[in-house]
Amino acid sequence: TAKLSPEKLLCQLRDRVNVTMIQGSDGPFGTSEWQQYLPGKSLSETVGHLGRCAVVSSAGSLKSSHLGQEIDSHDAVLRFNGAPIKGFQDDVGQKTTIRLVNSQLVTVEEKQFLREALYNTGILIVWDPAPYHAEIHEWYRKPDYNFFESYKAYRRTHPEQPFYILNPKMQWQLWDILQENSLEHIQPNPPSSGMLGIVIMMTLCDEVDVYEFLPSKRQTDICHYYQKFHDHACTMGAYHPLLFEKNLVKHMNQGTDEDIYTHGKATLPGFRKARC
Ligand code: NCC
């Protein structure tokens, strides 16, 4: 369904999607109070130059995949939301370099978020669904979930752990490219954490292996590898434009169809490799 060649698409993503974290220079975050909370170093300074990276979706099809060792062999691993490792190492590995969480989790599940050891490993990044191409000020006044107090509370108890707020502009820059490359009209809802995480890793790494985002032969209606909850929408999407995200990743995949089928693995080049 994608209209651009994979190479051109990669260049569009590289040039039009600004992957940045909120900094003091971003309008309402310029106060001395926010200066104490926002990390001093940029994300790329914190992680350094990364070679091979893995993005681990939370899909039920990871169950019994035995992909753990392969996932851990990467220089960096990105995971999502409350996806656990304990008890699932054989299938999902145990390395966590970055954990991308949505603002709903940080707000609605605040108690667990502030308490559970799961979140204390690696670098945290939180994102919030912003209004379409809204200015930072507008979004700051009316975030989808008001996670700012919970963010501050976490920073106070874990001041040494890098914890970033994703600049909300990114989600709509990415959504525009999804829409331009789809034949159907897409509901204007932000991309899933999965797609945001993939693009974040494409900015940091030479190569990105994405696990069970494009479902393997283990495809199942079980939503997560860590829960017994069935919902077809988890894989195909309802609120998030998941199906379109998956088409885009399939289009850019540099690996084989066999790798998708047996390992649920798609391989994407990092933006550094793009020749535009
Ligand atoms: O389920 P979730 O996503 O945490 O999954 C992370 C990412 O993995 C990919 N995925 C997941 C399941 C599946 N069967 N196939 C997949 O491809 C998706 O790319 C997904 O983004 C989210 O995107 O943040 C989401 O978060 C949950 C929930 O808020 C968190 O898990 C915290 O509890 C949302 N579920 C609900 O609100 C009920 C989900 O819609 C999106």
- Residue 102 CA to ligand 1 center (angstroms) comes to 9
For the chain, state the CA radius of gyration.
18
Helices (H), 2-102: 6-16, 32-37, 43-47, 68-72, 89-92
pLDDT the model gives residue 237: 86
Query: Could you identify the residue written with the tokens 């990415």?
Result: 174
For residue 273 the two structure tokens come to 């490799």
- Tell whether ligand 1 has an atom less than 6 A from the beta carbon of residue 192: yes
Q: Dump pLDDT digits (tens) for 14-69.
A: 999 999 999 999 999 999 999 999 999 999 999 999 999 999 999 999 999 999 99
- Tell whether ligand 1 has an atom less than 6 A from the beta carbon of residue 213: yes
Question: Probe ligand 1: pick from 57, 65, 79, 81, max atoms within 8 Å of CB?
Answer: 81
- Tell whether ligand 1 has an atom less than 6 A from the beta carbon of residue 266: no
Q: Print burial letters for 171-182: b (CB count within 10 Å at least 16), e (below 16).
A: bbbbbbbbbebb
Atom from ligand 1 closest to the CA of residue 213 = 17
- Residue 192 CA to ligand 1 center (angstroms) comes to 7
Q: DSSP code of 27? A: G
CA 201 → CA 44, 194, 195, 196, 230, distances in Å? 10, 11, 10, 9, 29
Q: Dump pLDDT digits (tens) for 54-73.
A: 999 999 999 999 999 999 99
ipTM of the complex: 0.99
3-state SS assignment for residue 34: helix
Residues 6+ apart with CB under 8 A from 129: 102, 103, 144, 168, 171, 189, 190
Question: Probe ligand 1: pick from 192, 208, 227, max atoms within 8 Å of CB?
Answer: 192
Please compute, for residue 61, the number of CA atoms within 13 A of its CA located in the half-sphere on the CB side: 22
Q: Dump pLDDT digits (tens) for 218-263.
A: 999 999 999 999 988 898 888 889 999 999 999 999 999 999 999 9
- Tell whether ligand 1 has an atom less than 6 A from the beta carbon of residue 171: no
- Tell whether ligand 1 has an atom less than 6 A from the beta carbon of residue 196: no
Torsion of CA 22, 123, 71, 220, to 10 degrees: -70
pLDDT > 70: percent of the chain: 99
pLDDT > 90: percent of the chain: 95
Helices (H), the chain: 6-16, 32-37, 43-47, 68-72, 89-92, 103-108, 110-115, 136-141, 148-157, 169-180, 193-204, 233-236, 242-252, 257-263
For residue 51 the two structure tokens come to 């070679």
Residues 6+ apart with CB under 8 A from 49: none
For residue 120 the two structure tokens come to 């204390």
Question: Probe ligand 1: pick from 56, 57, 150, 243, max atoms within 8 Å of CB?
Answer: 57
Residue 1 pLDDT greater than 80, yes or no: no
- Residue 31 CA to ligand 1 center (angstroms) comes to 33
CA distance 273 to 251: 17
pTM over 0.90: yes
Question: Probe ligand 1: pick from 61, 77, 78, 80, max atoms within 8 Å of CB?
Answer: 80
CA 163 → CA 116, 145, 199, 206, 249, distances in Å? 16, 17, 18, 23, 27
Residue 138 pLDDT greater than 70, yes or no: yes
Mean pLDDT of the chain: 96
**Which residue is closest in CA terms to ligand 1's atom 8?**
57
Torsion of CA 199, 205, 209, 215, to 10 degrees: -10
Residue 142 pLDDT greater than 70, yes or no: yes
